[in-house]
Amino acid sequence: MSKTADDLVYEVASILGKAVAGEALGQPEYETIDGKIDGVLSRISKIVYIGDRDEIPEELFDNIALIVAAFAGPKFSNEKPDMSYVRMLEADLRYLVAIEPSYQPVKAVYY
């Protein structure tokens, strides 16, 4: 199952405290957050490739939302993103997509 970019915008708005229950998100907030999604997806493309912004894997959704929030949040307060926090989130994303070791011996095939 996957989530859409619209779901991501509202999740990031919730993380940043910009979403109010029962009310629609304002246009400037929506555009600011939506404008950061493509940049974040291209930034993490070396870790995990997401070809369609409307098909974000559910198991990675929360982590990607936090990364987008790390870049969109400072836009509202005219600050710079905390890159150490972003690197920590990217390391967590690497952990999520890593292949789990099987701890089985590998059989060599000689040609």
Which pLDDT belongs to residue 50?
Answer: 93
Contact 41/62 with Cβ under 8 angstroms?
no
Residue 106, exposed/middle/buried by CB under 10 A (0-12, 13-18, 19+)?
Answer: exposed
Which pLDDT belongs to residue 62?
Answer: 95
Which pLDDT belongs to residue 82?
Answer: 93
Given pLDDT bands bounded at 50, 70 and 90, which one contains residue 11?
A: very high
Span 20-65, pLDDT tens digits: 777 788 899 999 999 999 999 999 999 999 989 999 999 999 999 9
Query: Average pLDDT, stretch 62-69?
Result: 96
The Cα–Cα gap between 107 and 83 comes to: 42
Contact 60/96 with Cβ under 8 angstroms?
yes
Which pLDDT belongs to residue 3?
Answer: 93
Three-state DSSP class for 51?
coil
Which pLDDT belongs to residue 18?
Answer: 87
Query: Average pLDDT, stretch 5-15?
Result: 93
Report in angstroms the alpha-carbon separations of 99 from 41, 48, 80, 108.
21, 12, 33, 20
Report in angstroms the alpha-carbon separations of 38 from 51, 63, 108.
11, 15, 42
Which pLDDT belongs to residue 97?
Answer: 92
**Element (H or E) spanning 12, and its range?**
helix 5-16
